Amino acid sequence: ENDIILFSRGDPLWFGIGRILLKNFSQKELLFYPSNTCVQLAFSKLKKPWQGTKVFSIHGRDSNELIRLLKLKVPTLVIIPDSKNNGLNLIRKNLIELQLESYYEFWVFENLGHENEKIRMIKIIEKLPEDISDLNLVVLSKSDSHSYIEKYPLFGLKDNLFKTFS
């Protein structure tokens, strides 16, 4: 007679209401039944394993941590963008500024699990399509075709490559 059911979208324990509930109730009082996360759905659509993937949100945050992860050249990175703050363009801009436009494949997943779901691989150097849904996430996956030979000259590497990359 004192049970309460609370429904929420997404994963309640990943930047969701679950954190608030855990601060105010004991773990014994709570049960969580999350559905598939957008990350699980995205990788199932790509047909790729996602062990070792870094998942990061820039929703309502600055991009300093994102820049740090990009400089580490994390092989697979999932980014939850902030559609209200032009998050997709921020990700694209950081990739270009760090000269990583050929290092990553840039996948945009829109409305995952819905009838109007879209999955697009976008060329980082091209302008983003204007019809991208606000309900999206980005997967950056190291490109199989990335070649250091194509990117760098035979002699004369710039100092900033040594200062900013591992």
pLDDT score of 131:
92
> Span 83-108, mean pLDDT?
91
The pTM score is 0.74
Q: 43, exposed or middle or buried, with CB in 10 Å at 0-12, 13-18, 19+?
A: buried
Confidence of residue 166 (pLDDT cuts 50, 70, 90): low
Residue type, 14: W
> Span 117-139, mean pLDDT?
93
Residue 152 has pLDDT above 90, yes or no: no
